[in-house]
Amino acid sequence: MAYDVVVIGSGPGGYSAAVRAGQYGLRTALIEKQPRLGGTCLLVGCIPTKTLLHTADVWEYFLDPQAQGIECENPTLNYPRVVDRKNKIVNKHSKGIEFLMRKNKVDVIKGTAKLLGGGRLEVTGGQGTQAVETKNIIVATGSEARMIPGLQPDANLILTNIEILDLTAVPGRLGIIGAGAVGVEFASIFNRFGSKVTVLEMLPRLVPVEDEEISKELEKHFKKIGIRCETGAKAENIRRNSNSVSLTVTLANGNKEEMEFDKLLVAVGRKPNTEGVGLENTSAQLDRGFIKVDGNQQTAEPHLYAIGDVVAGTPQLAHVATAEGMIAVAHIAGKPARPINRNRIPGATYTDPGIGSVGLTEAQARAQGFKVKVGKFPFVGNSKATILDKHEGFVKVIAEETFGEILGVHIIGPEGFELIAEAVTAMEAEATVETMMNTIHAHPTIYEAIGEAFNNVYGQAINI
């Protein structure tokens, strides 16, 4: 049987595309080489890390229960049970995706897919090799952790996002190379679980893609809670000892320091999984391993689409993959769809305080020649933040002076990654600063801080 659509890869991009194709009544198959569905995000990325983060948030209150008026003698963190809970959540959701495939009449084919050209593929798995034919193909094969040249990860000393999720105990000294989302999220989690964490970043600031003030605020808080942050640092000569890892770090001031950790997490970016997929049998164009697509997610070969982490030019985020999947399937089904607007993609970094951002940073807005007006509001003026004991951070609105266009919103603070939703909707609906000033925010909520920041574009916040 020839399919209408075959999706390769069951991450959030791939499985969502398969569901949507099923909803449109297209004959659809989803090919996955891993035993479980869900891809990086569900199995070894977003979901397990946010589960650990939740436990860290809960545990944080137990570090000082008396501050909440709770008497509680010797609370302990049972780390194997923390990991067990994480595994149960991952399994539950993987089964959920299997259910969604059945519900939407998507055939799941287990095995490794290879493009043979045109609409032909071969899938190699437990039951040998089978031929599959289809009218359209969506490549959603994702990405894997990059490694520092010459280094290999293992289960014990030098870890990626995969191995660190299954540690049997909290490491005493955790070194982290790279202060992108992966690096700072694990720093935030393991610091609160009790590890002595050191973050080494080669660029001058943590979370370098964020607004500069966000980076400064995160570093300030990280230092306050005892995370050592070395930016502008170069790690070299990484050596495995019998039970630890040693490295030589050139610090920003030029001094060299020998460091030793019980575990080292390497979080220096991700490379696209485009090798071995058979792209050489197609006319798809690559850019440094990423697949080039147009606004419909179409490659240079009309029936061949790509979505998610393999795509050139869009950030490697689960929600981007999903959105791109919707566009590809709509195009296949002849339905209307809008290309991704890079400026309206929320960024969400799950640290504590949490980061959420959308649109231009202040520096980008100024570099693009906008007359910029900034409105800021700190969470110290927000009553719900006081109730939560989470006063760090602020909301920062970047607006255009003449018409009050919202150019960007940057949040660091309690649930910053959730709060950003309002700003994304505002920008999507092309609301102005004035619209947002007139939007009524419930009290007491942390998202009141957003209303206040918009008011402060004109110096009119109330609670500061």
Provide the token pair at 131.
């031929």
Q: What is the C-alpha to C-alpha distance for residues 380 and 60, in angstroms, rounded to an integer?
A: 19
In the window 341-360, what residues touch ligand NAI (CB under 6 A)? 348-350
> Which residues is 28 bridged to in the sheet?
5, 106
Going 29 to 35 to 38 to 40, the CA torsion angle's sign is negative
* DSSP code, position 292: P
Asked if residues 440 and 382 have their Cβ atoms less than 8 Å apart, the reply is no
If binding is defined by CB under 6 A, does position 245 make contact with ligand NAI? no
Say which residues have a Cβ less than 8 Å from residue 92's Cβ, sequence separation at least 6: none
Determine whether 410 is an active site residue.
no
Q: Does 286 bind ligand NAI (CB under 6 A)?
A: no
Give me the 388-417 binding string for ligand NAI, x by CB under 6 A, dash otherwise: ------------------------------
d(CA 289, CA 272): 6
Site string for ligand NAI, 207-226 (x = CB under 6 A): -x------------------
Which residue stretch of 110-118, 181-189, 213-221, 327-335 sits at the interface with ligand NAI (rule: CB under 6 A)?
Answer: 181-189
Instruction: Please select the residue that binds ligand NAI; options are 115, 123, 264, 317, rule is CB under 6 A.
Output: 317
Q: Report which of 429, 378, 364, 435 is spatially closest to residue 404, judged by C-alpha positions.
A: 435
Q: Catalytic pick from 303, 331, 410, 443?
A: 443
Of 158 and 268, CB closest to ligand NAI: 268
424 counts as binding ligand NAI under rule CB under 6 A: no
Which residues in the 120-149 window bind ligand NAI by CB under 6 A? 148
* Among 201, 362, 392, 415, interactor with ligand NAI by CB under 6 A: 201
Between 148 and 333, CB nearer to ligand NAI: 148
Distance of CA 8 to the CA centre of its chain: 21
Q: Return phi, psi of residue 129, to 5°.
A: -110, 130
> Which CB sits closer to ligand NAI, 45 or 325?
45
Contact call for residue 181 and ligand NAI (CB under 6 A): yes
Q: Does 190 bind ligand NAI (CB under 6 A)?
A: no
Burial 4-41 (b: 16+ CB within 10 A, else e): bbbbbbbbbbbbbbbbbbbebebbbbbbbbbebbbbbb
From the list 202, 312, 380, 424, which residue makes contact with ligand NAI (rule: CB under 6 A)? 202
Interacting residues toward ligand NAI by CB under 6 A: 148, 177-183, 185, 200-203, 208, 235, 267-270, 315-317, 348-350
